[in-house]
Structure 1
Amino acid sequence: MQSSASTSTSAATNAQPAKKVSMFSQPIAVWAVVFASIIAFMGLGLVDPILPAIAKKLHASSSDVTLLFTSYNAVMAIAMLITGVVSSRLGMKWTLLTGIIVIAVFSALGGMSNSIWSLVWLRGGWGLGNAMFVATALAAIVSMSKTGVGKSIILFEVAVGLGISVGPLLGGELGSVSWRGPFFGVACLMVLAFILILVLMPSRAKLMASLPASAAKKKKASLADPFRALRFRALRTFGIAAMLYNFGFFTLLVYAALVLGHLGLDEHQLGLVFLGWGLMLAFTSVFTAPVLQKRFGTLPSMVVQLLLFAATLFVMAYWTTDKTVIIIMVIVAGAFLGNNNTLITTAVMNAAPVERPTASAAYSFLRFIGGAIAPYLAGKLAEWFNPHMPFVVGGAFVVIAALYLLVNTKHLKHVDDVESAH
């Protein structure tokens, strides 16, 4: 009887569920990359509040100023295809450090620029550095994390959200002194990011030793890997959907800032508006996206968030000259964007049986094509038609993205099964 009882007790003990590990229980190397990512993403938000000031000081049109994002995203899209090759040869640490150096150099040169066209080209160089950093940072966090893919991606989205939130506020403060201030601010922040990664992230040898044998023996990446990855329909579908959705995202980020500038907001006020947007994005990325994914599934949640985001763009299209409505809609849209960013990033990591850095590179190549076209198109649509048209077209692209996901539902259902297995 005692033996039987002992066996039962043992079985009951073994049957107990494993202790849940907090998303914040991470090695110090992960935190180094997270903090550096916050600083890197501050660079994007820093520039947003000064777009109207750049147009005024450099005598540029609205569509000329949008090229600062077009060149940045176009170079990022192309560079994403080589990040895997670079990372597999330099190692994650030195790829991150190289990206940081490139960002610092080109942002500092941008601060010294005296023409819109030189600034456009320098922003392209900034995009090259950002591509090397962003693609590698996500892969580094996922690789070094002890809490699984889903929680690692949420942690990365926290960094994105915090960086985007604080960036506009700092950019508004620096931009109120001079439009050059945010560019020099990014360069200084990148020096801090460089020190964090250099000191806290382990060397390539130590990192490889800490990884499982299967991960440590991976073959070197090739330039063809992202294109091979796009043969998988699920990954290709998410990439195309993100490309379409980015038409709405960058219409909001770039064109809405120009509209609010024309409606009388100065750099400081624009910084506060996009601070609110970024805080909403950060909050939903962490707290509501995982709940939506667990309760309703990734795909249904994404479709609903996209349609809600499209609705905010259509509201802005109707009330384009109403400053209060535009401000409220920009901040509200942050909630839908935060949810969607976490949902789609998690889905991409589980979409195809390829290495996660390769999946990230292939997906990012497609999505940043949309990010390259959208800002310039928005500026031109306003010139060709009227100030309302960019929001209409941006919203329409987001609706098409949602419909495209629905049409391909049967090819995407497996992403939830993969995530629950982690």
Structure 2
Amino acid sequence: MRIILDAEEWGRMRLREMFPPAVWATAFAALIAFMGIGLVDPLLPLIAREMGANKFEVEWLFTSYIAVMALAMLLSGVLSVRFGSRRVMLLGLCLVVVFATLSGFAPNIPFLAAVRAGWGLGNAFFTSTALSIIVGSSLAGMSAAITLYEAALGLGIASGPLLGGFLGSIKWRYPFFGTGLLMFIALVFTFLLVQEPKQKEPPRGTRDLFRAMRHPAVLTNSLIGLVYSFCFFTILAYSPLTLRGLDSIRLGYTYFAWGVLVGISSVFVVNWLRPLLGPVRLLQANLLCLVAVFVAAAWVHGRGLLWVIIVSGFFCGIANAMFTTLAMEVSPFSRSISSGAYNFVRWTGAAVAPILAGWLGDTYGAQVPFWVAAALLALGLLGLVWFGPVLEQGLAENAPQEGHGHAPRAHKPARV
């Protein structure tokens, strides 16, 4: 499967024909969901100051959210196959509305971390099914569907800090209320417009998730994705605490610029580079650049660090798109099982990053988490070079046959 878009195919089909209303409604909800991930970024210094928390304590706002997401990924993919993607997605949206609103009433860090965990549960149910809905309902093929999903991810990550910075400059509680309202609107659109995809996947159990995680190509992509996710959330969740002297609005602009680069590179640059380098080589080159970025973040201070953080968004966007695409393309399992297995493993790395970075920053110095991220990413790069042939084999085995298009794959036995 190719993520690059066929220009002639785009020319023959209008957007309305390629992406029915259900796809656009899901993409809009995904945009709002991803806004919630970066919403807290510009608020971290403000919340820490208001509640008298140190770096380690305030980073629990991310870790509780992501840890619950990771655990819920074990169930969400299975639930979506058994009860339908639409029902699970609506449940997730309802939970996000409730817990995002409760976050705005938080009296202290423990309460806020707890309701952020509930928010993470809802987000897991939603995000694990959103990609499946978009792919299953789209008439434009998996390539275009994943591109639309990545566009929603990029716009959401970019606009989240902007919304958080703007509303947070008035009062730090307002961004949570704003997200709850936007998510409620997304819930209404999803309820009215989204139907269960016509091509349903066969029922699967939790054992299929663990079987998927034992598949060599799926495991390789997931473990390297785990390392990358650790580094991604070192930037997203920890770096705002290192940019001293910036108020919530300027922090919002900083991470908005970062998110714009994430979106541009994940949607456009990947489509240009993938056919030139191939998926595995592109990912290797990109991770090498990210290692250099984290080394630079560990060396520089002040305005220089701000620019390094913004530039990192370009390489993060490429990595996001490639890991997501490989999760689908190297796996012989159904979409829901493939997504659930990959997301469980990679979100585990993401959950550890905020509190570990916060503890390292409090204990050993603000720049140390960037050194740790650079070292881990270098190990991930070595693993990608060593096990690259495993991914190449997975791509070759699961490539669509001539004339069969991008129909969803049924589960077939994996060679372990």
**TM-score higher than 0.5 here?**
yes
Amino acid at match of 2:248: E
Q: TM-score normalised to the size of structure 2?
A: 0.91
2:32 to 28, 39, 57: 39
Unaligned stretches of 5+ in structure 2?
A: 1-5, 407-416
What's the secondary structure of 1:329's corresponding residue?
Answer: helix
Specify the alignment match of 1:21 in structure 2: 10
Quote the offset at 1:96 in angstroms.
1.1
What's the secondary structure of 2:39's corresponding residue?
Answer: helix
Quote the offset at 1:219 in angstroms.
2.7
**TM alignment of 1:326-337, pairs within 5 A:** 326-337=305-316
**TM alignment of 1:160-309, pairs within 5 A:** 160-202=153-195, 204=196, 207-208=197-198, 211=199, 216=200, 218-260=201-243, 263-309=244-290
Identity between Structure 1 and Structure 2 (%): 40
Amino acid at match of 1:404: G
**Stretch moving more, 19-28 or 297-306:** 19-28
2:133 maps to 1:151: no
Amino acid at match of 2:96: I
Q: How many Å separate the matches in 2 of 1:18 and 1:105?
A: 42
Q: How many Å separate the matches in 2 of 1:358 and 1:78?
A: 14
Question: Per-residue displacement from partner, 1:284-314 (whole Å, max 9, x unpaired)?
Answer: 1111112221110111111111111121111
Q: How many Å separate the matches in 1 of 2:394 and 2:287?
A: 18
Question: Per-residue displacement from partner, 1:112-134 (whole Å, max 9, x unpaired)?
Answer: 11110111111111110000000
Q: How many Å separate the matches in 2 of 1:225 and 1:126?
A: 26
Amino acid at match of 1:226: L
1:106 to 99, 102, 118: 99
Unaligned stretches of 5+ in structure 1?
A: 1-16
What's the secondary structure of 1:219's corresponding residue?
Answer: coil
Amino acid at match of 2:250: Q
Question: Per-residue displacement from partner, 1:9-54 (whole Å, max 9, x unpaired)?
Answer: xxxxxxxx99423694311211111111111111112111101111
CA contact (8 A) 1:297 1:416 kept: no
Quote the offset at 1:387 in angstroms.
1.3
Specify the alignment match of 1:351 in structure 2: 330
CA contact (8 A) 1:107 1:126 kept: yes
Q: How many Å separate the matches in 2 of 1:314 and 1:419?
A: 37
CA contact (8 A) 1:149 1:346 kept: no
What is the number of equivalent residue pairs in this alignment? 392
2:329 maps to 1:360: no
Amino acid at match of 1:299: V
CA contact (8 A) 2:265 2:317 kept: yes
Q: How many Å separate the matches in 1 of 2:178 and 2:104?
A: 9
Question: Per-residue displacement from partner, 1:88-130 (whole Å, max 9, x unpaired)?
Answer: 2331112111101101111111111111011111111111000
Q: TM-score normalised to the size of structure 1?
A: 0.90
Q: How many Å separate the matches in 1 of 2:143 and 2:380?
A: 23
Question: Per-residue displacement from partner, 1:112-162 (whole Å, max 9, x unpaired)?
Answer: 111101111111111100000001001111111112222211110100000
2:88 maps to 1:95: yes
Q: How many Å separate the matches in 2 of 1:420 and 1:396?
A: 37
Quote the offset at 1:419 in angstroms.
5.2
